[in-house]
Amino acid sequence: MKLITAIIKPFKLEDVREALTALGIQGLTASEVKGFGRQKGQTEIYRGAEYAVSFLPKVKIEVAVADELEDQVVEAIQKAAHTGRIGDGKIFVLDLSRAVRIRTGETDGNAL
């Protein structure tokens, strides 16, 4: 099993959800996060004063999948989240050693 984590632009969340649903992914977790990378933040104006915003709003998506779906899920996220502009985000793939569905006690692949 794999845990795939993606950091994307907030307005791309629905596109990514639709792409994953088309693959048969039945659940994911999305969290609002802030961060910076090469994008380096931006300058904004509030009440006439200019100030720098170092941490930009992003969405963090986490989805656990069977090993055989890893490449398809990564590709789907990459295509759906792509804008071609700086700050599109990153995808991380981690090995997942165990999963348990709390309600039923199902484990690993059955819990996904």
Least confident of 14-28, 30-44, 58-72, 78-92: 30-44
The DSSP H or E segment spanning 77 is helix 70-81
Architecture of domain 2-110 in this structure: 2-Layer Sandwich (3.30)
Helix axes 70-81, 13-22, angle to 10 degrees: 150
Whole-model pTM?
0.84
CB 6 within 8 A of CB 94: no
Q: Tell me the pLDDT tens digit for each residue of 7-47.
A: 999 999 999 999 999 999 989 999 999 887 776 656 666 67
pLDDT bucket at 54, cuts 50 / 70 / 90: confident
The number of helices, as runs of H, and strands, as runs of E, in the chain is 2, 6
All structural domains of the chain with their residue ranges: 2-110
